[in-house]
């Protein structure tokens, strides 16, 4: 007769999920294969999560944002200058891990060739910081989207420069490894999407509605018109500073953004937006705009 503890141990082992007996690398690969890449999921201040980039990837996000400061000759990632650290750089937190992912997945961050956006929000002085950004991006050019004055050659990762943008410096380049983040003042201008591929702005600067009650008709029409003009010009649309607490008004705003065709929904709550898009977006992996 088997001893009771041996019988119990065998029963418990049999009850464990198969993944628990997998090698760590196989379990990770199995998890990644089950993640749905969400075309409209943008991780605001991604670097503030426990595992920058990786937490976003675990939740299917295809757009992440990193704030950078030019400090001691390198691009250090932090929201405030007082929080910078030489160990937390654009390369160590984003460019190197993304390069590894692209290599693992045969030329894309996610298997299946889904596009991926890396937003670099410049916090320090624009011109000098962008020079260093451009220098570093050139080291990873094989995986990046390339921009010229009239053409866009799609890569595995499209970089967008936001924050303190050096517009003149970027416009003077014949080849760039990043697009320029436009504002509402750029909407409907003659600037091509090969320079401004995205129009993004602060929600509260243009709308009073915060998801309580019905969206005012005039503001609804304004939102639809913004998206229509941007999409006609081949540009994506994103708003930041939308409600982000897990309350009904957040979902009300997300619903209006989704219905209007806004390309990226902004959040710090990775599982919250993941769950919402999987439940409410009829085409969660589909982009509105292709360059």
State pLDDT tens for residues 39-80. 999 999 999 999 999 999 999 999 999 999 999 999 999 999
Interatomic CA distance for residues 172 and 45, integer angstroms: 29
Q: What is the pTM of this model?
A: 0.89
Distances (CA, A) of 36 to 17, 60, 112, 271: 21, 5, 11, 13
Interatomic CA distance for residues 65 and 67, integer angstroms: 7
Fold for the domain defined by 35-279 = TIM Barrel (3.20.20)
Average pLDDT for 257-271: 98
- What's residue 30's pLDDT? 53
- What's residue 24's pLDDT? 46
pLDDT at 34 over 70: yes
pLDDT at 1 over 60: no
Domain boundaries, the chain: 35-279
Region at 77 (left for phi over 0; alpha for psi -120 to 50; beta for the rest): beta
């Amino acid at each position: 007769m088997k001893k009771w503890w041996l019988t119990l141990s065998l029963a418990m082992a049999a009850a464990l999920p198969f993944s628990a007996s997998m090698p760590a690398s196989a379990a990770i690969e199995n998890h990644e294969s089950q993640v749905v890449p969400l075309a409209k999921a943008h991780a605001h201040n991604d670097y503030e999560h426990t595992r920058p980039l990786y937490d976003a990837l675990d939740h299917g996000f295809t757009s992440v944002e990193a704030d950078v400061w030019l400090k001691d000759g390198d691009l250090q990632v932090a929201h405030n200058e007082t929080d910078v650290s030489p160990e937390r750089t654009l390369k160590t937190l984003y460019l190197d891990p993304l390069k590894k992912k692209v290599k693992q997945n045969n030329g894309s961050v996610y298997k299946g060739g889904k596009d991926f956006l890396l937003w670099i929000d410049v916090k320090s002085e624009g011109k000098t910081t962008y020079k260093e950004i451009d220098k570093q991006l050139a080291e990873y050019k094989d995986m990046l989207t390339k921009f010229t004055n009239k053409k866009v050659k799609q890569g595995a990762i499209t970089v967008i420069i936001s924050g303190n943008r050096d517009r003149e410096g970027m416009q003077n380049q014949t080849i760039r490894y990043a697009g320029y983040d436009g504002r509402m003042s750029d909407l409907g201008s003659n600037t091509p999407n090969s320079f401004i591929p995205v129009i993004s702005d602060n929600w509260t600067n243009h709308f009073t509605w915060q998801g309580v009650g019905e969206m005012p008709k005039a503001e609804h029409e304004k939102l639809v018109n913004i998206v229509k003009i941007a999409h006609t010009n081949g540009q994506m649309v994103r708003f930041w500073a939308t409600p982000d607490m897990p309350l009904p008004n957040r979902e009300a705003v997300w619903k209006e953004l989704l219905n209007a065709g806004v390309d990226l929904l902004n959040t710090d709550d990775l599982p919250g937006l993941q769950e919402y898009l999987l439940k409410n977006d009829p085409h969660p992996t589909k982009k509105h705009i292709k360059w």
